[in-house]
Structure 1
């Protein structure tokens, strides 16, 4: 990973255009080929970013200003960074990350859903749990009734972060011709409205899971039928 703290402006050129005026910012160039631009607020969310795969070209204009152009290798969309001053520039090798360890309930949800994969729909079949990818394991990989590949991300409480995580998995899995096209399902005991909106916008289905029903436990509340 390369960390750069620089006074810079950023222009996004693609389907939409966006501009960040000159200011001090943190630039992250990750080993997976992604680039993100951060301010000293907004928690972990970048001001702008480019998903992998992308390439970076560094040059200088006639005035001596650094011009760093980040180009997405497939779409051709660009981030153009004008570097006025570099305050810090370092590179670090982090190595393979072991990934986030799930808590007991979340891990059990994965196990139960794999056993009862038709909870997602008639005709669903399991390919495998913890399907390995270069950016971490997909909770469940399965096929729907038509034989198409489906990636499932499981959470106890589903929020925007989980949708973003599944989006990254889908981008990677869809590069594999033996799996593509791959669609996504975001499954959780509770899904926040904002996460549902983002998932819908990205073509990702949402499924609310009943933990007790998956375990075969009858609800305490009496039912008429």
Structure 2
């Protein structure tokens, strides 16, 4: 079974079967009803009604499936290892084209945090104004360049998790920006959803302020009150 490029085809089989793994090790699953997932990449996995996402046994690609009567043999194309399914009864057998998968989109990535903070720059202080997102420098773009209420230029580095390397990165930006007489003096703000203690210590030593960002608050989402 081959899928068109970019598409995902999934075959779902619920069957009463036994399973034998033959390879570097051997394993046996006695006869019982199980879910068999057969994917377009050739992988086959056998599941029970527990263990969350983890299969009882599986064969990773590249592999091929050969069906001979009630015996299905999955052979790994490189190692020759085999997964042998003996089918006693098929309860369900269906094939589904899932379409082009867009991939995982992580909520709260740095680019989105940057966009939200730029839209709500007064989160950093009343009277703050945005100069530009992705302000270009010779060593890379500064996430946000803005001015505080006094008119002083501020460079903001944004991370989901604030660690020492992020503080070092902002330090390099500040050294470069402060050479520009039209911007100097420039101070720094290190903003993240979570900032490690070591990063806070280093930032304080460099004269950089730390700000913890509330992602939900930036999106305008109110949290429900909870007892715990």
Normalising TM by the smaller chain, what interval? 0.5 to 0.7
Does residue 1:201 correspond to 2:194, yes or no?
A: no
CA distance in 2, matches of 1:221, 1:137: 39
Q: Would the aligned equivalents of 2:128 and 2:148 in 1 still touch at CA under 8 Å? A: yes
Q: Would the aligned equivalents of 2:161 and 2:192 in 1 still touch at CA under 8 Å? A: yes
Does residue 1:221 correspond to 2:186, yes or no?
A: no
* RMSD between superposed Cα atoms in Å: 1.7
The answer for the alignment partner of 1:141 in structure 2 is 145
Q: Would the aligned equivalents of 2:108 and 2:160 in 1 still touch at CA under 8 Å? A: no
CA distance in 2, matches of 1:125, 1:136: 22
Q: Would the aligned equivalents of 2:108 and 2:215 in 1 still touch at CA under 8 Å? A: no
CA distance in 2, matches of 1:154, 1:162: 8
CA distance in 1, matches of 2:173, 2:214: 25
How many residue pairs get matched? 122
The answer for the alignment partner of 2:113 in structure 1 is 109
CA distance in 2, matches of 1:126, 1:222: 35
Change (3 A) 1:163 1:137: same
| TM-score, length-scaled by structure 1 | 0.53
CA distance in 2, matches of 1:104, 1:190: 12
Change (3 A) 1:103 1:130: farther
Cα deviation digits, residues 20-61 of structure 1 (max 9, x gap):
xxxxxxxxxxxxxxxxxxxxxxxxxxxxxxxxxxxxxxxxxx
After TM superposition, give the deviation of residue 220 of structure 1 in Å: 2.8
The answer for the alignment partner of 2:91 in structure 1 is none
After TM superposition, give the deviation of residue 222 of structure 1 in Å: 4.1
CA distance in 2, matches of 1:198, 1:103: 28
1:51-130 aligned within 5 A? 105-130=109-134
The structure 1 segments of at least 4 consecutive aligned residues displaced by more than 3 Å after TM superposition are none
CA distance in 2, matches of 1:199, 1:103: 27
Question: Unaligned 5+ residue runs, structure 2?
Answer: 1-105
Cα deviation digits, residues 87-132 of structure 1 (max 9, x gap):
xxxxxxxxxxxxxxx9962110000000000000111000000000
- Specify the SS of the correspondent of 1:133: coil
CA distance in 1, matches of 2:168, 2:131: 23
Question: Unaligned 5+ residue runs, structure 1?
Answer: 1-101
1:134-213 aligned within 5 A? 134-213=138-217
Structure (1 or 2) with the larger CA radius of gyration: 2
The answer for the alignment partner of 2:100 in structure 1 is none
- Specify the SS of the correspondent of 2:109: helix
